[in-house]
Amino acid sequence: MAVIEEIKEKPSLSVLALVSFTVSFIIARAFTTIYPNTILLVGGGYHIHHFWYGLAMLAIGGWLGISLDNPRINQIAAIIYGAGGGLVGDEIGLLLTLNDYWTNVTYTFIIIFLAFVSILILLFRFHDAILAELVQFTRTAASLYFAIFVAVVSLAFILETDNILIMTVSSGLTIMAVVVILAYFIQRIRIRQKASAEV
């Protein structure tokens, strides 16, 4: 008989990596803002961008986290991994446009990334309570009104833009809103069936 190991949650490591990511991003952006002309050139005139250091740190932090199981090493791996992500995140604009370090895409990416990771940490830490509250929310009329509002606004964005990113996000929100609407009506049908069965 196979033994199934329980998955251990490590929200403290996620928080540590997120803080490290944020600090690394802020330091890299501040240094580049204060010293914009400082570049590292190597033989042949190659310009080594700091996302390369970030990629190396991601690889090292990931390897340490996968290979070794020690609380202190796990913390170090989380810090290295987060810091590497911050260095890569700082140059997202450069990587996506291939020439514009200061593009607004960088700030959009960082805000979305931090919000997404924060939500994941909360979900991992409080998933039972959040799930119970979401199930309770889908039973209320407020969930129906909220989902209809989100669906209408998202469809308006889809119809009024040619931006692929906005269309993708709006499509995802529309699908989620439809799921919430369906969940509400399924709950209502089940409640009515249960009530009629008891009569």
Could you tell me if residue 51 is inside a domain?
A: yes
Residue finishing a domain among 89, 104, 126: 126
In this prediction, residue 39 carries a pLDDT of 67
- Type of residue at 75: Q
In this prediction, residue 63 carries a pLDDT of 94
Residue 94: give the domain boundaries: 10-126
Reported residue count of the chain is: 199
Could you tell me if residue 117 is inside a domain?
A: yes
End-to-end CA distance of the chain: 47
C-alpha angle 25/168/158, rounded to 5°? Answer: 125
82 and 120 in a single domain? The answer is: yes
Mean pLDDT by 10 residues, the chain (199 residues): 63 78 84 73 67 92 89 88 89 75 71 77 75 74 84 84 80 88 85 80
Query: Using CB atoms within 10 A of its CB, is residue 81 exposed (0-12), middle (13-18) or buried (19+)?
Result: buried
Residue finishing a domain among 78, 100, 126: 126
Could you tell me if residue 4 is inside a domain?
A: no
117 and 171 in a single domain? The answer is: no
176 and 113 in a single domain? The answer is: no
75 and 149 in a single domain? The answer is: no
pTM more than 0.75: no
**Domains: count for the chain:** 2
